[in-house]
Amino acid sequence: MSEGLGKYAAYILTAYGLTAAVFAVLILGALSHARRWRRRAEALTRGEPPP
């Protein structure tokens, strides 16, 4: 970064911030989806009520 972000800082930082937010949503969504259904499937297979 030679001369700072200057007058474009708002656009650049918003773009990077939104990218981080979208990836956070995709990662947390994928992990929670897998975890939720894994717990449910395991409980049902053991004959327990689903969590």
Partner 1 sequence: MLPAPAFLTNPERFMAFSRWAAPLFGALAAVLAAAGLWLGWTAPDDYQQGATVRIMFIHVPASVVAMLIYVCLAGASFLSLVFRHMLADCAAQAAAVLGAGYTALALVTGSLWGRPMWGAWWVWDARLTSVLVLLLLYVAYLALRASLDDEAKAARASAILALVGVVNLPIIHFSVTWWNSLHQGSSMLTKGALPAAYSRPLYLMMLAYLAAFGALWLVRIRGEVWRRRADAAALRAARV
Q: Could you say whether residue 50 binds partner 1 (CB under 8 A)?
A: yes
Does 51 interact with partner 1 (rule: CB under 8 A)? Answer: no
Instruction: For tokens 């773009």, name the residue.
Output: 15
**Checking phi first, is residue 50 left (phi over 0); if not, alpha (psi -120 to 50) or beta?**
beta
Q: Tokens 């989806």 sit at which residue?
A: 33
Work out whether 9 is an interface residue with partner 1 (CB under 8 A). yes
Q: Which residue has the tokens 């297979």?
A: 45
Residues lying near partner 1 in the complex (CB under 8 A): 1-9, 11-12, 14-16, 18-19, 22-23, 25-27, 29-31, 33-34, 36-38, 40-41, 44-45, 47, 50
